[in-house]
Structure 1
Amino acid sequence: MMRLELLFVLAWAFFVPGTNSKKTYGDMFPHKHKLPFPFPIPGWEPDTNPWDESLYPPFKPQLTRRHEKPPKVRLTSDSPAMNGSCISFTAALEFPPCQKEDSNGNLVYDEHCDDGTMDTSANGQLRSGYVFNWTSWLDDYGYGKCTDLKRCNVFPDGKPFPQTNDWRRRGYVYVWHTMGQYFETCDGSSSHLTLNTTNMTFGADVMEVMVYRKRERRKYSPLSTDKSVYFITDKIPLSVNISQKEAASRADRNIFVRGSDVIFNVQLHDPSNYLKTADAVDFIWDFRDGNQLVTHSSVATHAYDMLGNVTVKLLVEAAFRVPCPPPTPTPVHFTQAHTTAIPTLPPGTHTFTSKMETTKAPVISSALPMTTTRVPTTAIPTTEPFQTDSEVTATAPESSSSYNQPTAPPLLKHKHFQESDCFRHMYGSFEGEIILIERPPALQNLPANQILKVSADKVSNTSVNFMVTCSGSVPSVACTIVANSACREVKNIVCEDVTPYDEGCKISLTRIFQTPGTYCINITLGVPGGLALATTTSITIGNSPDKNSPKSPHVAEVVLSSSAVLICIFAFIAYMVYKRYKVYRPVRRSMLEDAERNTDSWGLGKLRAVLFSVDEERSCLLTEKPQ
């Protein structure tokens, strides 16, 4: 009996501490981190904080095996990330088939979906309605409804939820965990997180996320969990796409034709645009045929004159301006003279040597060519790299058997730097092998690159459309130079990327001319590979003396006819106005004129009466009838 009591006491002693022990955030996630933490993330908390297991029960694998599967969370990132850039993570919920979110954020069944596995009701209809009506959660958990701050609207560590205007749409709790630290937030069906990697250690790490759903009954239900591996690197992640228009084999992409331009397109993995903050980004090419190229452009072209296998190498260098550290003098070494057989030196006299070196960035003012087809090896200038303190300046990657850097790559910069500037360098490298063969017979009869015809069509009074017909490779860039009629004074220059107008080599260009006149138009087409095709034509906008001369008689006839018609119209109008508004004025004559007029008229009257006798009975004045 005593033994049984002793065993019971020992069991109780071991059992009680186990039940009272609280779980921490680190216990809730499977991935463990070693102490101390490599880097404290701003705004994050250590995973040694306690976790409220009664309010947030742990996630159990049995949840994924139940009949009604909950939504799954999918964690993705834009890894790898350069040290100093920002890395982003996205956790998105993937709902089961035939389930969706409505406008209120509730999870409902899709009535118009039938995946063949959904159970039907007793009447044979598909299931409909709410899968989860989270608005019912407002009765217990809504702001102002719950007075117990320890049981609602709090995270697992007891911190309250942030109050936002759209808090009704944030029905899920996301708990992020990495590097022994955690971050928690409320969000909708997806959540986004961004971290700055300035002080993070290089290498791989694991990001974990656990999603809880707000439920009624004053408890949060575990929904899903996921994890993802991300990388922090001190190199520039890149890839190179190698192509050629006259490629001999479309199936094998590393076979190219000798004598034709090979296009190297560099794609830098920089989703946060970190390299845009650099003072210079240089692309240093070694084509391994005696030619090298240094450019600021991510696209380069090169034509090989050799056959066989060639290994192309690329070194990308980015320079970031950083504060210069204070100069550190070298230790002073003292050398005291010995007094043996040599005469003794005066007291207090010693001989010593001190040496102090300060390294500053040299001033570089050499300009870089933006695009170059071929650059001989002997033509590349060599400059001394910027030397700064070892704590702020990264060293170039060391050479290995698998990658050999180009011979003495120049570290040229975009800007004119001052002697007091210090820089931090970041490098990226690429090495690829291509095979060069002779041009197949089917490609040897291709027409040469040239401009065959230029036609101009007037679209409006100020715009003209130029149709350029060419042969050979289809141009990618077109430049139009507008000059005066003598082709000496440049008025305007316009360059743009062009696409083929139709099948074959045809380019359509539309240009606008603000003032009329005769212009000299120079059209230059840029063919991939650095080739340029040019042609010059003349065009007249508006009226010109040459075109007006044959039309002058017709214009004169129109002007004269119009003038005559207008004169007639104005004359008729003036006559009608004069007749309508004419003033009556009586004629005044003197008495002498009246006497002379009466004498003359009496004589003429007697003569007319004798010669022309008139029957007075028929006079029109006798209008009155006899009574």
Structure 2
Amino acid sequence: MKAMGLGSVVALILCLGSGIQAVTRYQDVMVLGSRSGHTGNHNQIRGWSPGSNSWDEMLYPAWKAGDSRWENCWKGGKVVALLTSNSPALIGSNVTFAVTLQFPRCQRANDDGDIVYDRRCRNDTANYQDQYVYNWTKWVDYCDQGNCSFISKFPDGRPFPQRHDWRRRNFVYVFHTLGQYYQQLGGPWTTLSLNTTNITAGTQMMEVSVYRRGHRRCYPVAKASDIYVVTDEIPFYVNISQKNDRSSSDKIFIKDSPIKFDVQLHDPSHYLDDAVVTFNWSFGDGNGSLISNDPDIKHTYNVLGNYSLKLTVKAAIPGPCNPVTPTPLVPTTHSTSTAHTTSNSTSNGTEFPPADTTFPFTTEGPNLTTYSTLTTTPVPTEAPGCFIYRYGHYETNLTIVDGILDVNIIQMTDVQVSASLAQDSFIDFVVSCQGSLPKDACTVISDYTCMVPQGMVCDKVNASDQCLVTLRRSFAEPGTYCVNITLRDDASVALASTLVSVNGFRPQRNIEAILIPLGLVVIVAAVIGAILFKKYKEYKPIGNAADQHADEGIRVYFNQIKSGLFKENAENDPLLKNKARII
């Protein structure tokens, strides 16, 4: 009996052991999310669950990469999940992840959250019997009748949250990082915000698995992963610019011209909105350092050479104060004020405001004896003046050279050209500049709004002792033009603009514009005159005086028409030559 009992116990233990090994866990399904740039145990992320929890593989099948079932998990093609984040994130801030599903061609999500065929991109050979790829809306009728048979819980068995827009959330997103997971419902895209307070600084991996809801189970449709960075250094970048600088990326700038430094903090979660941020600049030119609360400053280098620019950004972030027990003080007869400060190696500090400690006095007999009574009081968790300090550092090298500082158009002169040789109107522009001598000059001619370029001409500039350049530019038509003139050398480019009104144009075109219409008028008049003359110059019999009088009237009428077409001297009018006749 004892042998049989012992054997049964062993069998039961083996059975239980095999059952435990058969349980699928989150960390088994999502392997990438268990990887981390930091070895060792990870702190618990608020709101997340440990990856050791069981995963219901009957309801949520887990397919590995390369499984043939991935090819048929979606109608009409393959779904791609794009996972992005706004890292790097400062410890204590939030990093946001966004997942976007890209459906096969001619598929899209409608307003109800269903996936439908987009008939606008359908080709002639496509024949879509049903407009829906996946129709979850029809399940609503079943639910209203109490026949909800589709899945309504996550892989760990937790029920779906009750939301008013649950009809449009037909995808299950499971996120996994640092051996912990978070699950939520979403539509064709979703976002997740992760607080980094308990995350170790370094490069981490985020993995997401996407499932579509089904009647009896959920089916995997896509997986994605992305690297994100958590840092204890304030992430920021510095934009360096200068007027007339040809290229800011080469870190070569012009002497005697202000350089603008614009610091942009990378803080998408607004973690530093209530922080006191200071910027400590060292320009490397021997003029000392500059401490400012303004992220935008200007500095001018007056000597040629190479300089090392350094910037330290310091942020004092309001935070909770850790309870501190003050050290007992030596008895004294004076009132004292003491401020306590604690800090750690990561440049985080917790400061407490000054506290006044008063010691009561007691007198006994003729001798004066003083003693102090010190009461230790825990510091509140949220006290004014408690800060967490974070720092950021930036360093780069700058090269300062001579360059063109300014350009001015000091004179514009019309060029007179003989009418026989002129084709266009010419204007000479006299341009002066300050600084180094230019190597080339370019002119861009645009319309009067300076928005539509009409032509560009570039010329080499001959070396000279002074920066004075004369540019002759041609204009084909009259009108108002915007003229932009740029002078350039290896390190700088300077611009000057002006509006110019061109009135003159080719004389030959003026003559043609007059003669061509006049010639047309003469030809038309000649044709009309010939027709009228032919009409009234036909044979007529000799008549009496009345007939002659009528013929004379016709002749006068013809002469009036001819005089209207061909202006002549009034002395040649036939009415003045003919004498009155008596009929």
Task: Please give the range of the TM-score, normalised by the shorter of the 2 chains.
Answer: 0.5 to 0.7
Aligned partner (choices 344, 347, 353) of residue 394 of structure 1: 347
CA contact (8 A) 1:237 1:269 kept: yes
State the distance in 1 between where 2:338 and 2:244 align: 50
3-state DSSP class of the match of 2:234? coil
Distance 2:91 2:271 in 1: 10
CA shift digits 1:165-185 (9 cap, x unpaired): 111111111111112221111
Give the paired residue count. Answer: 362
Q: Give the Cα–Cα distance (whole angstroms) in 2 for the partners of residues 419 and 446 of structure 1.
A: 61
Does 2:161 correspond to 1:162? yes
Contact 2:139-2:148 within 8 A present in 1 as well = no
Mapped contact 1:315–1:429 kept (Cα < 8 A): yes
1:366-445 matched pairs, under 5 angstroms? 388-391=341-344, 394=347, 419=354, 421-440=385-404, 443=405
Q: Report Cα offsets for 1:532-584 as digits up to 9, x if no partner.
A: xxxxxxxxxxxxxxxxxxxxxxxxxxxxxxxxxxxxxxxxxxxxxxxxxxxxx
Distance in 2, matches of 1:160 and 1:252, equals 54
Q: Distance in 1 between matches of 2:83 and 2:141?
A: 32
Q: Cα distance 1:167–1:250, how it changes in 2: closer, same or farther (>3 A)?
A: same
2:277 paired with 1:281: yes
Output the aligned Cα RMSD.
3.9
Match of 2:217 in 1: 219
Please give the secondary structure, in 2, of the residue aligned with 1:232: strand
Identity %: 40
Q: Which of 235, 243, 246 in structure 1 is aligned with 2:233?
A: 235
* CA deviations over 1:199-218 (Å, ceiling 9, x no partner): 222112111111110123x1
Offset of residue 286 of structure 1: 0.7
Sort the Cα spacing of 1:136 and 1:358 in 2 relative to 1 into closer, same or farther, 3 A.
same
* 1:59 and 2:63 correspond: yes
Q: Secondary structure at the match of 2:343?
A: coil
Match among 301, 308, 311 for residue 314 of structure 1: 311
Contact 1:177 1:209 in 2 (8 A): yes
Paired with 2:24 and 2:113, the residues of 1 have a C-alpha distance of 32
Aligned residue type for 1:29: M
Query: Does the CA-based 8 Å contact 1:277-1:320 persist in structure 2?
Result: yes
Matches within 5 A, 1:566-585: none
Matched-pair contact (CA < 8 Å) for 1:173–1:214: yes
User: Would you say 1:105 and 2:141 are equivalent positions?
Assistant: no
- Corresponding residue for 1:208? 207
TM-aligned CA distance change 1:113 to 1:258, over 3 Å: same
When normalised by structure 1's length, the TM-score is 0.51
Q: Say whether the 8 Å CA contact 1:327–1:358 is kept in structure 2.
A: no
For the Cα contact (< 8 Å) 1:146–1:152, is it kept in 2? no
Superposed CA offset, 1:246-275 (max 9, x none)? 21x338542111000001111110001111
Aligned to 1:596: none
Q: What is the DSSP-based 3-state SS (H/G/I as helix, E as strand, rest coil) of the residue aligned with 2:286?
A: coil
Is the 8 Å Cα contact of residues 312 and 432 (structure 1) preserved in structure 2? yes
Change (3 A) 1:244 1:33: closer
Instruction: Select the residue among 106, 128, 131 that pairs with 1:129.
Output: 131
Quote the Cα distance in structure 2 between the aligned partners of 1:41 and 1:227: 19
Where does residue 546 of structure 2 map in the other structure? none
> What is the CA–CA distance in structure 1 between the aligned matches of 2:190 and 2:145, rounded to whole Å?
26
Q: 1:444 to 1:220 in 2, by over 3 A?
A: closer
Whether 2:27 is the aligned partner of 1:26: answer yes
Summarize the Cα distance change of 1:205–1:169 in structure 2 as closer, same or farther, 3 Å threshold. Answer: same
- Is residue 152 from structure 1 mapped to residue 160 from structure 2 by the alignment? no
TM superposition shift of 1:104:
2.2
Relative to structure 1, the CA distance from residue 63 to residue 302 in structure 2 (aligned partners, 3 Å threshold; closer, same or farther) is farther
1:44 to 42, 45, 48: 48
Alignment of 1:492-507 (within 5 A): none
Distance in structure 2 (CA, Å) of the matches to 1:395 and 1:169: 44
1:419 positional shift: 3.3
- Higher Rg: 1
87, 90, 104: which one aligns with 1:82: 90
Residue of structure 2 equivalent to 1:267: 264
| Structure 2 gaps, min length 5 | 1-10, 330-335, 356-384, 411-431, 435-447, 451-583
Alpha-carbon distance, 1:321 to partner = 3.3
> Structure 2-normalised TM-score?
0.55
Distance change in 2, residues 1:250/1:273 (3 Å): same
> Counterpart of 1:360 in structure 2: which amino acid?
A
Alignment CA distance shift 1:328-1:391 (3 Å): farther
CA distance in 2, matches of 1:36, 1:289: 46
- Contact map agreement 1:120 1:126 (CA 8 A) in 2: no
**Residue type matched to 1:287 in 2?**
F
Corresponding residue number in structure 1 for 2:375: none
> In the alignment, does 2:339 pair up with 1:360?
yes
Q: 1:170 to 1:321 in 2, by over 3 A?
A: closer
Provide the secondary structure at the position in 1 that maps to 2:121. coil
From 271, 294, 299, the equivalent of 1:297 is 294
Cα 1:119–1:224 shift into 2, 3 Å: farther
Separation in 2, partners of 1:99, 1:472: 61
Asked if the contact 2:136–2:167 (Cα under 8 Å) also holds between the matched residues in 1, the reply is no
Distance 1:219 1:59, change over 3 A: same
Contact 2:241-2:248 at 8 Å conserved across structures: no
103, 108, 119: which one aligns with 1:95? 103
Q: Which amino acid letter does the alignment assign opposite residue 132 of structure 1? A: Y
**Paired residues for 1:326-345 under 5 Å:** 326-328=323-325
Q: C-alpha distance in 1, partners of 2:337/2:203? A: 37
Q: Report deviation, 1:192.
A: 1.4
Contact persistence 2:232–2:346 (CA under 8 A): no
Indicate if the aligned counterparts of 1:392 and 1:423 stay in contact, CA closer than 8 A. no
Structure 1: runs of 5+ lacking an equivalent: 1-9, 333-356, 362-387, 397-416, 449-470, 474-500, 504-627
Q: After superposition, what is the alpha-carbon deviation per residue over 1:41-79, rounded to whole angstroms, capped at 9, x for unaligned?
A: 222221211111111111343345458323221111111
Are 2:177 and 1:178 aligned?
yes
CA contact (8 A) 2:93 2:195 kept: yes
- CA 1:160–1:240: 2 relative to 1, 3 Å: same
